[in-house]
Amino acid sequence: MSTSSRTALSTSASPKRWWALVVLALTQLVVVLDGTIVTIALPQAQQELGLTDLERQWVVTAYALAFGALLLLGGRVADYWGRKRTFLVGMLGFGAASAFGGLAQNGTELIVARGLQGVFAALLAPAALALLTVTFPSGRERNTAFAVFGAVAGAGAAVGLVLGGVLTEFADWRWCLLVNVFFVVVGLVGGMLLVTESQTAGNNRYDLIGAVTVTIGLGSLVYGFSLAEQGWGQIQTVGFLALGAGLLVLFVVIESRVAQPLLPLRVVADSVRGGAFLVQMIVGSVMIGAMLYVSFHLQIVLGMDPLLAGLATLPITLSIMVMVPVATKLLSTIGPRPMMIGGPLVSAVGLAYLSRVTADGSYLVQVLPALIVLGLGMAFVFVPLQNLALTGVEPQDAGAASATLNSALQIGGSIGLSVFTALYAARVADFGAGGSQLDAFTSGYSVAFLAAAIGLVLASIIAAVFIRGSKSELLPQVSDTEAAVYVH
């Protein structure tokens, strides 16, 4: 047996791989929750720093935009430069950007800090997922590892709301950023001690033209959607959406012709992986976009303080965690396809119920049941999703595939947030003067929740069409010899 094979087998057999899973899952939790942790703190931050409403929106958008637009490049950096090295640099930079944001003295500094967080998260997230792929290359352990990782990633948005509420209530909004320094220290120490380096062998070249094209393309697309609140027919909205779509088409053409593409089209051409990426995008729109309006309803309409509003979203996380062990067992019994079809439908029922909220309704009757059902359904999506998106990926493409999956989540969240905001604003504007302001707000929230439910029904249809094959075909077992090629 070769030296690389012995290294891979010893790595996969080492007990420290489970501690490595803890570190990598913690990393994913941080990058996902940072998309929502400042949401509850925004009113306090706006008042202290004197933010305009536009600046307030960009505190959220800057992170998602930089993160989503640079993820593909970050994935290739991880593949070529070394996944462990990229992970550590991303972690260090993320911590520095978080500290800068926590000490920001004005809106510009806060927005810049959030953008820098997104830049380093674009290195961190694909490196973490690629490291998970090479640490658990096959078998039941891989299913378990991806189930844990997926559940943590899926619950991150809700955890961010809870943690943001606790920190805002008992400390200060700045701690919603400064708390990341603690996670970074744990991640750096754990990464250095527990994670094994891996990278793509050979003479690798960066696809710089593709990187610039897709970064500007994704950025333009997300920005265009963020302008939709001002009107879908506005020249700026249409212009940025058209520019983004055109550049993404050009990116596909470039990737089909370069020798070492940023995103090998074979990664997304596979119908199962392509379907998983599309489902991830819709899930991101719900967990990032729709959850923002849950927070607004709890605070603005129901009058909850930040802490109570954060705790009130906790049932989503709890229901996900309760169902993950069940879903993990079912994965090996019935396979991923039924779960990917049924999970979104269950969550859609929860959101449809949530769309019935009224200004004089109660949390226990109108909100709590919906959040529980939403979490139950999402558990059946998160457990198989990460595995499906990375099954069958060539070792040299692990970072690119991981980046695509993370990018789908963040871009989906950004687009979902923009679309829901546009629908909400339009409904509130059309509500008229006949009712109270709270009635107008809840009417707008209802439209956003119903749109999210429709999106999840679409996700179920996508899964039914694209994710086909038997259980053994969708979750193939990889031999030890094959697994060895993942570690270099």
Are the CB atoms for 132 and 24 separated by under 8 Å?
yes
* Separation of alpha carbons 77 and 79, rounded Å: 5
Low-confidence winner among 125-129, 336-340, 366-370 (lowest mean pLDDT):
125-129
Buried b / exposed e along 189-210 (16+ C-beta atoms within 10 A) = ebbeebbbebbbeeeeeebeeb
Per-residue pLDDT band at 2 (split at 50, 70, 90):
very low
* Separation of alpha carbons 472 and 237, rounded Å: 45
How many Cβ atoms are within 10 Å of 36's Cβ, its own excluded? 28
214-219 average pLDDT score: 85
Backbone angles phi, psi at 197, to 5 degrees: -65, 145
Share of the chain above pLDDT 90, in %: 19
Residues 219, 165 share a domain: no
Measured CA angle at 135 (ends 383, 181), to 5 deg: 80
Are the CB atoms for 112 and 452 separated by under 8 Å?
no
Are the CB atoms for 280 and 412 separated by under 8 Å?
yes
Share of the chain above pLDDT 70, in %: 86
How many Cβ atoms are within 10 Å of 364's Cβ, its own excluded? 8
* Separation of alpha carbons 71 and 211, rounded Å: 10
* Separation of alpha carbons 442 and 300, rounded Å: 10
Helix (H) or strand (E) holding 82: none
* Separation of alpha carbons 322 and 306, rounded Å: 25
The predicted structure's pLDDT at residue 284 = 82
Residues 242, 380 share a domain: no
The predicted structure's pLDDT at residue 134 = 75
Mean pLDDT of the chain: 81
DSSP alpha helix (H) spans, 14-172: 16-33, 42-49, 53-81, 83-102, 107-135, 139-170
Backbone angles phi, psi at 447, to 5 degrees: -65, -45
145-164 average pLDDT score: 72
Residues 12, 116 share a domain: yes
Number of domains present in the structure of the chain: 2
Residues 402, 274 share a domain: yes
Extract the tokens encoding 367: 């909100």
* Separation of alpha carbons 411 and 38, rounded Å: 18
Burial zone of 153 (CB within 10 Å; 0-12 exposed, 13-18 middle, 19+ buried): buried
Count CA within 13 A, CB hemisphere, residue 455: 26
Burial zone of 455 (CB within 10 Å; 0-12 exposed, 13-18 middle, 19+ buried): buried
Residue 343: name the closest of 64, 133, 150, 137 by CA: 150
The predicted structure's pLDDT at residue 482 = 35
451-475 average pLDDT score: 85
The predicted structure's pLDDT at residue 177 = 87
The predicted structure's pLDDT at residue 395 = 67
Residues 223, 77 share a domain: no
162-191 average pLDDT score: 84
The predicted structure's pLDDT at residue 168 = 79
> Residues 45-78: pLDDT tens digits?
888 888 876 677 778 778 877 887 787 788 778 8
* Separation of alpha carbons 298 and 158, rounded Å: 13
> Residues 224-251: pLDDT tens digits?
887 777 777 889 889 999 999 999 999 9
pLDDT at 161 over 60: yes
Low-confidence winner among 127-131, 141-145, 157-161, 476-480 (lowest mean pLDDT):
476-480
Low-confidence winner among 152-166, 322-336, 360-374 (lowest mean pLDDT):
152-166
The predicted structure's pLDDT at residue 42 = 78
pLDDT at 116 over 90: yes
Measured CA angle at 169 (ends 166, 170), to 5 deg: 80
The CATH number assigned to the domain holding 191 equals 1.20.1250.20
Are the CB atoms for 379 and 151 separated by under 8 Å?
yes
pLDDT at 6 over 60: no
Residue ranges with strand state E in 321-421: none
Extract the tokens encoding 225: 């959607």
Residues 415, 351 share a domain: yes
Extract the tokens encoding 129: 């997922």
* Separation of alpha carbons 237 and 220, rounded Å: 10
> Residues 290-339: pLDDT tens digits?
877 888 888 888 888 877 887 888 888 888 888 888 888 888 788 888 99
Residues 220, 143 share a domain: no
83-106 average pLDDT score: 91
pLDDT at 451 over 70: yes
Helix (H, G, I), strand (E, B) or coil at 39: coil
DSSP 195: P
Q: Who's near 157: CB < 8 A, 6+ residues apart?
A: 32, 33, 35, 36, 287, 288, 291, 413
Backbone angles phi, psi at 262, to 5 degrees: -60, -45
Among the three residues 228, 259, 290, which one is the final residue of a domain in this structure? Answer: 259
Among the three residues 259, 280, 299, which one is the final residue of a domain in this structure? Answer: 259
Are the CB atoms for 61 and 221 separated by under 8 Å?
no
Residues 254, 268 share a domain: no
Extract the tokens encoding 466: 């694209």
Residues 146, 284 share a domain: yes
The predicted structure's pLDDT at residue 5 = 39
The predicted structure's pLDDT at residue 94 = 93
Among the three residues 259, 274, 300, which one is the final residue of a domain in this structure? Answer: 259
Per-residue pLDDT band at 409 (split at 50, 70, 90):
confident
Backbone angles phi, psi at 242, to 5 degrees: -65, -40
Extract the tokens encoding 6: 């012995």
Residues 78, 55 share a domain: yes
**Could you tell me the end-to-end alpha-carbon distance of the chain, in angstroms, rounded to an integer?**
14
Residues 276, 220 share a domain: no
The predicted structure's pLDDT at residue 458 = 95
pLDDT at 471 over 80: no
Low-confidence winner among 12-16, 220-224, 440-444 (lowest mean pLDDT):
12-16
Residues 70, 88 share a domain: yes
**Which range marks the domain in which residue 250 is found?**
207-259
The predicted structure's pLDDT at residue 423 = 86
The predicted structure's pLDDT at residue 354 = 93
pLDDT at 155 over 90: no
* Separation of alpha carbons 273 and 402, rounded Å: 11
